[in-house]
Amino acid sequence: MPSSSDAGPGVAYVAGTFDTKGRELSFIADCLRQAGVRAVTVDLSTTGTASSADIPAATVAGHHPDGAAAVFTGDRGSAIAAMAVAFRQFVRSRADLAGLISAGGSGGTALATPAMRDLSVGVPKVMVSTMASGDVRPYVGPSDICMMYSVTDVSGINRISEQVLSNAAHALAGMVAHHRPPSAAGKPAIGLTMFGVTTPCVQGVTAALADRYDCLVFHATGTGGQSMEKLADSQLLAGVIDISTTEVCDFLMGGVLACADDRFGAIIRTRLPYVVSCGALDMVNFGAPDTVPERYRGRRFYPHNPQVTLMRTTPEENERMGVWIGERLNRMEGPVRLLVPEGGVSMIDRPGQPFYDPEADRALFDALERIVVQTANRRLVRRPEHINEPGFIQALVANFLEIA
């Protein structure tokens, strides 16, 4: 995967469908060259039409695992999906890539952004899109893609488009020319996950480790966990203290702050030192009360605020989560410590609080202990404290320092 450290001579790739957007993409490339940045144009069109791009569509399509024939199917939908796969493989093969820019509508955006997401955090990436004024999460995901709204359609050079496309090109040129790699002399970075109801725990851990580590805290809102794991995959983290795994609740139970199926995948791939806990695994997040699915009517709820409604997880749901998490922990070959806070997993999961439910917690903890295969490298530690208590915070810190 190209990263910010192997940008080489600083080549900016300008990619898109040259059969329909060739004039606009060439304009971007010209702006980059005029700014002193080397630019290479890449055709992602799926019609088989010849273009003036430096790298033709057939060359990109040849990077598809099933060959170019899998791309040029004659069906627009399947062709775009296949070309996106081919372009991801193409981008991964470019050791000289220092930046990536594209422009297009919904199809062009769907073609270019998967490859942009594959690039390491910090590698400049700009997408000029007609879709950038709406919900861009499907395109950006956990990455640092700069989405720029095209205002007019990407259809010709006019008094508006020339300004927008020029701004985009010069933004990328500035990123490439003035790229700042991570400081090698600084403290190593670690990722931590936090939710409102685990804030005291995370703050205590960061305070204890701040002298030795650059502590990067991620809000466990679905994208937060993905962003942390993206940094892990980008080799920008020296370890992870995954205190708040609550996104799993929403993923399995249909909440609004869900992780993806690949949650924990980066830790499996990178084998980073990993301390994990059960923070906020007592709750599923929904919007306002009237957004809660009908199948959950009659459950135990807590209004976090007018826009967020929390639902207490049941023993059955907790057991399911314990199995799901435990199976993924078993795939980790790096040093792993799972710390279980038997006194409660969130601010509102303790005696006198609305989500206090020892039976439900016990179902989670017992499932984890039953599923997790303990080895010299992978250990489960049950602690008597609540997750936000000093003793548990100290245990998290001690276990991380033991394996880091």
pLDDT tens digit sequence for 147-167: 999 998 888 899 999 999 999
Which contiguous run of DSSP H or E holds residue 324? helix 315-329
CA 92, CA 258: separation in Å to the nearest integer? 28
* Amino acid, single-letter form, for residue 234: S
- In the prediction, which pLDDT does 49 show? 86
8-177 and 189-403 share one fold: yes
Q: Domain residues of the chain, as ranges? A: 8-177, 189-403
- Letter for the amino acid at 49? T
- Domain 8-177 falls under CATH 3.40.462.20: no
Residue with more model confidence, 186 or 396: 396
CATH number of the 189-403 domain:
3.40.50.12030
Q: Tell me the per-residue pLDDT of 225-270, one tens digit each, with 9 for 90 and over.
A: 999 999 999 899 999 999 999 999 999 999 999 999 999 999 999 9
**pLDDT of 4 higher than 50:** no
Pairing of strands 146-149, 189-194: unpaired
Tell me the pLDDT tens digit for each residue of 11-26. Answer: 999 999 999 999 999 9
Q: What is the mean pLDDT of residues 382-399?
A: 98
pLDDT at 3: 45
The pLDDT value given to residue 9: 55
Residues 6+ apart with CB under 8 A from 179: 4, 7, 98, 122, 124
d(CA 239, CA 234): 12
The pTM assigned to this predicted structure is 0.78
| Structure confidence at residue 185 as a pLDDT band (50, 70, 90) | low
Structure tokens at 211: 């002298």
Average pLDDT over residues 321-338: 98
User: Mean pLDDT in the chain?
Assistant: 94
Using a 10 angstrom Cβ sphere, with 0-12 exposed, 13-18 middle and 19 or more buried, the burial of residue 291 is exposed
Q: What are phi and psi of 360, to 5 degrees?
A: -65, -45
Give 277's contacts (C-beta < 8 A, 6+ positions apart). 242, 243, 244, 245, 338, 339, 340, 341, 345, 387, 396
Averaged pLDDT, 3-10 = 48
CB 315 within 8 A of CB 358: no
Q: Are 201 and 388 in contact (CB under 8 A)?
A: yes
